[in-house]
Chain A
Amino acid sequence: MPLPRRTLLAAAFAVLPLASPHAQEPIEVAGVYTVPVEQQWVGRLHEALQAAAARGDITYTWSENVANTDYERVMREYAEAGKDLILGEIFGVERAARDVAKDYPDTAFLMGSSFPPQEPNLAVFDNYIQECSYLTGLVAGSLTKSNLIGMVGGYPIPEVNRLMHAFMQGVNETKPEATFLVSFIGSWYDPPKAKEAAFAMIDSGADVLYAERYGVSDAARERGVMAVGNVIDTQKEYPSTIVASALWHMEPSIDRAIGAVKAGTFTAEDYGPYSSLGEGGCTVAPMQEGMVPLDVQKMVAAKEAAIRDGSLVIPVDDTEPKASR
C-alpha cells in the first residue's frame, strides 16, 4: 500500500530535529560593513568570522562597502532573512541602527559603537586595545631620536582617541620631552591622503609615525623613518619600517557572542572588555631584534606583565588628541 506523500513528509520532519540537535547546527551570521573587508578594523571581524565559519560554528554572509545612508536597509534585510546574529559598525548610523534592533528583538546584534549597549538585543564592542597601544608607545619613545612623533588618524572618534592617548602616554614614559604632531584626514579610506599627511610630518622632522591608517607606513618606508602599526600586523609588508604593532583580536568577542546565541543567553552587553590584553583581545606583535633593542623589549614585557596582573591600569581618555608643540 503506497503511503500518502503528506504522511511521508510529516514523518521526515518529525525525525529531523532528532537527527541534528539544535545546539550542533551552525547559527546564521551576517556582517554589514561600511568599508571593504580589506580595511584593518573590519578585516579583524571578517577574519574571526571566517575562522568560525571554517570550524562549522556559523554560516557567514556579508555585505561590504555599504553606505551609511543604506545601512539600515541592509540590516533589515538580514534581520528579515532570519539571521541569528548580525555584526557590523554603527558609528555613523547609531540612531537608525538602534531602531532596527528594537524592531527585531529575536535577532542578536553585535555592533561596533561608541555608545552603550541597548536592551534587550544590541551588544556593542570596539577595538579597545589601549593597553597594547600603550606598550607600543613605550617602544616608539625609546626609539625616537628627533623626539617628534607623528600620528595620522581617520576621524577623532572615541576609539581612535583612546588608542592615541594610550600611545602618547607610553611615549612620554620613555621620552618625557617628546612632542606630537596630529592629523585627521576626514576619511577612513584614502591612502594617498594619509600618505600626504605622513609626508608632511616627516618633512617637519618626525622620525616615528603612528600608522592608524593605510598609507602612513608607505610614506615612512619611502623616507626611511619608523612606523608603529595599529590593529593589524604589517611587519612582513614593511620589514624595515614597522618597529612594533598593537594587534587587535576579535576572536574572544565573536566566540563569546556565538556561544551566547547558541545557548540562548545573548544579552545587551558591552563586549569592549573582551578586546583587552587579559582576555586575549590584543597583543603586541613580536618585535625584531635588530630594530628594537633587547632591553626595550624586556621593559615592554615587564609592563605587559604588570597590566596582566592588574598592578598597572591604562587610563581611558576619549578626548580628541591635540598636537603638542
Chain B
Amino acid sequence: MDLLDILLQTGFWVAAFRIATPLVFGTLGELLCERAGVLNLGIEGIMTAGAMTGWLAVHMGADLWTGVALAAFTGLLLGSLHGVLTIPLGLSQHVAGIGITLLATSTTYFAYRVILPDATSPPRIAPFPPVDWPWLKAVPGIGPVLAGQTALTFLAFALVPVLVWLLYRTPLGLAVRTVGENPIAAEAQGLHVHALRMGAVLAGSALMGVGGAFLTLSAFNAFFFEMVNGRGWICIALVVFGGWNPAKALLGALLFGAFDAFQVRLQQAVGGAIPYQVFLMLPYLLSIVALVLVSRRASYPQALMRPFIRGRR
C-alpha cells in the first residue's frame, strides 16, 4: 500500500477525527484552566473519573446525554477540589494536580470494583452511533468522514469556535485572560480574581470529564481500568503546541489523531520490516518535534502557576 493511498482513505480520516475528539475536549478544558492562570495536572484522573461515571450512569439505565452530563459534573466536582487547593489556599499547582490525578483514578477503580465486584467481562452499553445523515454523506470529500462521527465529536468541534468567541470577544473572556496574565491589574479593575479562576477551573474540568466519557460512550462501549492511557498528558502538550489558542490547539489535536491513525495503517502496510515500536512511537515523536518548533514562539499566560493572594505582590 502506498503512503498516499492511506491518506486518501475515508477510513483514515474517520479514525483521525475519532482519535482527536477526546483530545479536543481535554485540550479545551486544560486551555481554559491555564488561560486563567491555573495549571490542572488533574486532567488524567478527571478523564478517568468522567469515563467511569458517564458509562456507569448509562449502564444503570440513564440515557446517553445524562451520562455525558454526569461525567461533566464529576469533572466539575474534582475541579472544585483542585480549585480550592490552588486558588484560595494557593498551594503548588503541580503537586495538587498530580494528587488529584492519583486520587481520582484510585477512587474510580475502587468505586468500580465495589459496584461490580464479580464482573468477568465488563458490562456493555449501547454507545452513541455514528450520525450517518444521508445529506451529509452526499457531500463529496469531507461528507462521509463527518457522517462516520458521533454526536460527541460534533460537540467537541463546535466548542472550539464557542470558546474562541468567549475568550476573545466577550468581557468575561477578557476578564479570564486578564487574571491569567496579570491578576493584580485585574484586581485593580474590580474583578474578583479568585472567582474567575475558580469558574475557569470548574468549566475546564467539566470538559475534561466529557473527554473521558467520549471513550466509554462513543469510542468504546465499556469502562476499563487505565483506558485513558495517557491521553490527558497529551492534552497538556497540545495546549502548549496550540500556544494557548483554542483554534491552534484543535489543529494540534487533529494532527495527533492523524499521526496515530496513520501509524496504525503504516504498521500494517510496511509489515515486519521495521519494529512495531517505531510506529507506536511515531505520533509522540512527531508531537515532540512539533512542540520544539512551535514552542520557540510560545508565549504562555504570564501568571500561570502563580497563586494570587489579595494584598500581596
Contact = CB atoms under 8 A, between A and B. Distances in A.
Interface string A210-253: 00001100100000000000001010010000000000000000
B14 to A, nearest CB: 8
Contact of A203 (B9, B109, B270): B9
Contact of A193 (B9, B11, B229, B268): B229
B224 A36 contact: yes
A199 B11 contact: yes
B120 A43 contact: yes
Interface stretch (A164-172, A184-192, A268-276, A295-303): A184-192
Contacts of A146: none
A69 to B, nearest CB: 14
Contacts of A64: 113
Contacts, number: 101
A186 B280 contact: yes
B233 to A, nearest CB: 14
Interface string B83-123: 00000000000000000000000000100010000011110
A197 interface: yes
B222 A196 contact: no
Contacts of A36: 109, 224-225
A25 interface: no
Interface stretch (A71-79, A125-133, A286-294, A317-325): A317-325
A47 B120 contact: yes
> Majority SS of interface residues in chain B?
helix
A316 interface: no
B172 interface: no
Interface stretch (B62-70, B258-266, B287-295): B258-266
A38 B229 contact: no
Nearest to A192: B219
Contacts of B1: 204
Contacts of B227: 189-192
Nearest to B130: A222
A202 B12 CA distance: 11
Nearest to B260: A196
Category for how many chain A residues contact B: 35 or more
Nearest to B225: A36
B11 A200 contact: yes
A196 B121 contact: no
A325 B273 CA distance: 12
A181 interface: yes
A181 B264 CA distance: 11
A321 B119 CA distance: 32
A184 B122 contact: no
Contacts of A196: 15, 18-19, 260-261, 264
A185 B121 CA distance: 21
B146 interface: no
A215 B216 CA distance: 12
Contacts of A162: none
A120 to B, nearest CB: 34
B225 A189 contact: yes
B220 interface: yes
A322 B277 CA distance: 14
A52 to B, nearest CB: 16
B215 interface: yes
Nearest to A190: B229
A181 B268 contact: yes
A182 B124 CA distance: 27
A93 interface: no
B272 interface: yes
A200 B260 CA distance: 11
A182 B271 contact: yes
Interface in A132-187: 150, 156, 181-187
Interface of B: 1, 9, 11-12, 15, 18-19, 109, 113, 119-122, 124, 215, 219-222, 224-227, 229, 260-261, 264-265, 267-272, 276-277, 280
Given A195-B220, A196-B261, A323-B268, 18 more contacts: A38-B121, A43-B121, A65-B225, A150-B268, A156-B276, A183-B276, A186-B277, A190-B229, A192-B227, A196-B260, A200-B11, A200-B261, A201-B268, A203-B9, A203-B11, A320-B272, A322-B272, A325-B271
Interface of A: 35-38, 43, 46-47, 64-65, 150, 156, 181-187, 189-193, 195-197, 199-204, 214-215, 218, 232, 234, 237, 320-325
19 contacts: A37-B120, A43-B120, A64-B113, A65-B109, A65-B225, A150-B268, A156-B276, A181-B268, A183-B267, A189-B227, A190-B229, A192-B227, A196-B15, A196-B19, A200-B11, A200-B12, A203-B12, A204-B269, A323-B268
Please list the 10 inter-chain residue pairs (A to B) with the smallest Cβ-Cβ separation, ordered nearest first: A322-B272, A323-B271, A203-B11, A192-B219, A186-B280, A184-B276, A181-B268, A36-B225, A200-B264, A200-B265
